[in-house]
Structures are given as C-alpha cells and as structure tokens.
Structure 1
Amino acid sequence: MPRALTEQETEAFRERLCEAAAHLYVEEGPGAVTMRRIATDIGVGTMTPYRYFENKEAIVTAVRTRGLHRLCEAMEHALASPGDGRTRSRAVRDAYIAFARDNTATYRLMFEYPETNRDDPAYRDAHQRMWRNIAAHVEVMIAEGTVAGDPAIIGHQIWAALHGAVMLEIAGMLPEGFDAAALHTRTVSAVFDMAKAKP
C-alpha cells in the first residue's frame, strides 16, 4: 500500500498540475487543457489529477488564484520600498512586469482564459487582494498630494495601460527600442498629468 503524501508533497503536486495546465494553454491553446492531457504531460495516471482537483476548471481557478497571490506579494513588497509615491509606483510597475516575464504561462492563463469559478472563495479573496493593490500605490500619491481622484479608477487606468504593454511585449509587438516599462512610462505620464492635484 503506497504511503500517504505529506501536506508539502500534496501541495507540490498541485503546483505541478497547475504549471502543466498553464503551459498547455500557452503552447497548444485552451482546448488542450484537459485532465487527461495534464495527466499525460506530468506522467501520471489519467485519474490521478481528480484526487487533487474536481475538474480542469478547478485547476484553472487554482492557477489564477495562486498567480494573483504571488503577483500581489511582489507588488506589496515593491510598494514597501523607500522613496516618494512616484518612485514606489514605478517599483510596483517593475515588480508587475518582472512577474509577467518570469511567469508568462501563468500570467497569460490568469488574464486570457474565461473564468467560470468566480464564486470560488479562494479566487474571490485573491481577486479582491489584486484590486487593493491596484489602488494602493495611487493612495500613497494621493496622501502626498501628488494626484487627486478616485484611487480605484486611477489605479485601473494605470493597470490597463500596464497590462496592455505587457501583453504587447509578450507578443513581440512593441515598437523597436521599447519594452513594456518604457511604453508604460509614456502612457502613465498622461494619466498622472490628468490626475494632478490642483494647488
């Protein structure tokens, strides 16, 4: 009789399943993300993934949940760095870009795949944490008197520009001489000018 896996081993195997799903999505498209293919790709029996996740949608939700938490951790660490609001906002931007570059398959699955488990409590918590992070660096600048307005709206404007720049970089479609950070710097300057606090 095989021994029971430890909690750490179980978590490591769940992570393998999540990584396999993300890579299948990027390399072959959403149709390739099936429990059978995931099992085949990591070399286990076809029923093994069902011991850890109910179905492929549960795996996709886990990829997104885990990815959002890791991204938020990086952004929160960046926001805690020294400097004024603009400096810390740039640090958050750089942490976001670094995550997308280092975890491209996960990043794409996080934001491209239609989410069908929006009511999953863990995913909902991760999503709300992301929303807090989107506004947090703007709140710092508002507190300093640098910008004025709704931090959630300004944060989403900045995020939309950043996500667009990141996806263009991933697709290799940025103008020559630009990367995501350079393009975003130009775009976000306009956002900050519009939101500049009045004397």
Structure 2
Amino acid sequence: MAKAHPDDEEAAASAVRRRLPAPQRRVQILAVAGDLFSREGIDESSMRKIASKAGVSPAVLYRHFADKDALLFALTESFFERLSAAMREAFATVDGPVARMRALMRTYLTFGFDNPHEYRLTFMTALPRLKRDADMKAFRQRARSGAVIEPQELTLGMHCFGMLERGISDLVAAGHTRQSNPAALTEAIWASGHGLVSLVITHDEFGWTERDALVDTAIDVMLNGLLRHP
C-alpha cells in the first residue's frame, strides 16, 4: 500500500483540528488561493500547495474546486460582487446624472486602489486566462443587436460595466455630452479609469500625489473631456 505524502497527512490533521462549515471553508480556501496566486503566481501555486496552506487535504480542496481555473473564476466573481455592491450603492444614493457619474467613477477608482492584489489578479491575470473578455464581447454584440438579455446570463463583471454604461446613457439622454455614442463613451471612461488604477497599483514607487487629490483630478479630467460646456 502506498505511503501517504507527509504534506497530505499534515493538511488532513489540520483540517480535523479546524473543521469549518462548507461555506466558510470555501471562503477560507479562496482567501488562501488568492494570496498565493498574487504572491507566487498561478503556475507556481499547485493545488497541493493551496490545500496545504489552507489546512485541508487535497481531497477536500477538490470537493470545493475542480482546478485552479475554478478557483480563479470564483475569485473574480467575489471581486466583482463586492465592486458591484459598491457601485449599486453609489448609483442609488446620488441624484442627477453628472453627480451620479462622478460617484460611480470615484467608487471604481477607490475600490481598485483599496484592493490592489485582487484588482491585479482579476484584470491582469484571471480574465485573460479564463477568456472572460470573449464572453463580454459576445454579450455586448448581442445587446447592440437588440437581443433580449436574460438576467441570469449576466456575470457580475457585466453588471459592473453595465452600471457605467447606464450612467453614461443618462448623461447622453440629458444632453450633457458632446458626443452621443454611449458605448464608445463608456469604453473610453472605463479605459481611462482602469489605466489609472493599473498604473498606480503596479508602480507604487513612482511617488504618486495624495490619493484623494489624484482621484478628484482624474475625474475632472475625464468628465471635462466628456461633458458639453456652455
């Protein structure tokens, strides 16, 4: 009979000592996997290493997640769930299309700055690896063609982008914008915000100015290029 791997025995013993309900165990495994993926990279983070760090046996890990891509998918959904909740709150608590757009942009930028590891993992690693951009492209093509999109078809990332698009559409409908193409305007605004977050969290040694001032200035620059002026 094959002898058990020492790491497996240690992980199994730890799991017995710290039994958690399945939902809590899932959250704990995701936290460990996200930390390992961010610090060591996906290719260097084996399922065995994730199980060991989480204090569970490989069998327990595989009961929750089939592979690393399943872990990545769950991590991106968790990230977008929190971002979506923050953006929904901003959308619902501010009146007026211009003020609402400012609030949405501030929420997006601040969330990215506050969650640099998760932001980097989601946008720079997980989405390309999981080919989620292809899903977004197909969804947007269907939406532009007038096809009916059922709520259950939308990923949480699509919800986040959709809120930006709705905010831009409200600006266009109110006659506040110099251009009238909501899709192009939304893409330009998101690309600008995403670019700023990506630069700041990747090059923190640059010596960026105080964050609130940077966020205020970035929003002013983006909106000044978007809005119609008297």
TM-score normalized by the length of structure 1: 0.80
Structure 2 spans left out of the alignment, 5+ residues: 1-15, 136-151
Q: Distance in 1 between matches of 2:94 and 2:131?
A: 38
Q: Distance in 2 between matches of 1:178 and 1:84?
A: 28
Displacement of 1:39 after TM fit? Answer: 1.1
Q: Distance in 1 between matches of 2:165 and 2:199?
A: 23
- Aligned counterpart in structure 1 of residue 50 of structure 2, from 19, 31, 38: 38
Q: Distance in 2 between matches of 1:18 and 1:43?
A: 12
Q: Distance in 2 between matches of 1:19 and 1:158?
A: 31
Secondary structure of the corresponding residue to residue 115 of structure 1: helix
Matches within 5 A, 1:82-121: 82-113=94-125, 114-116=128-130, 118=132
Check if 1:188 corresponds to 2:222: yes
Structure index of larger Rg: 2
Which residue of the partner structure matches residue 163 of structure 1?
194
Q: Distance in 2 between matches of 1:141 and 1:84?
A: 9
Displacement of 1:132 after TM fit? Answer: 1.0
Secondary structure of the corresponding residue to residue 127 of structure 1: helix
Q: Which moved more, 1:48-57 or 1:184-193?
A: 184-193
Q: Percent identity, aligned pairs only?
A: 26
The 1:135–1:47 alpha-carbon spacing in structure 2 relative to 1, beyond 3 Å, is same
Displacement of 1:109 after TM fit? Answer: 1.3
- Paired residue type of 2:183: A
Q: Distance in 2 between matches of 1:44 and 1:109?
A: 23
Instruction: Write out per-residue CA displacement over residues 118-161 of structure 1, whole angstroms, 9 at most, x where no aligned residue.
Output: 47xx8952232133123021122122221142222211111111
Which residue of the partner structure matches residue 170 of structure 2?
140
Check if 1:49 corresponds to 2:75: no
Number of residues of Structure 1 aligned to a counterpart in Structure 2: 189
- Aligned counterpart in structure 1 of residue 88 of structure 2, from 76, 90, 102: 76
Structure 1 spans left out of the alignment, 5+ residues: none
- Aligned counterpart in structure 1 of residue 28 of structure 2, from 11, 16, 19: 16
Q: Distance in 1 between matches of 2:153 and 2:220?
A: 33
Displacement of 1:173 after TM fit? Answer: 5.5
Q: Distance in 1 between matches of 2:44 and 2:164?
A: 32
- Aligned counterpart in structure 2 of residue 177 of structure 1, from 193, 209, 223: 209
- Paired residue type of 1:177: T
- Paired residue type of 1:155: T
- Paired residue type of 1:149: S
Displacement of 1:25 after TM fit? Answer: 2.0
TM-score normalized by the length of structure 2: 0.71
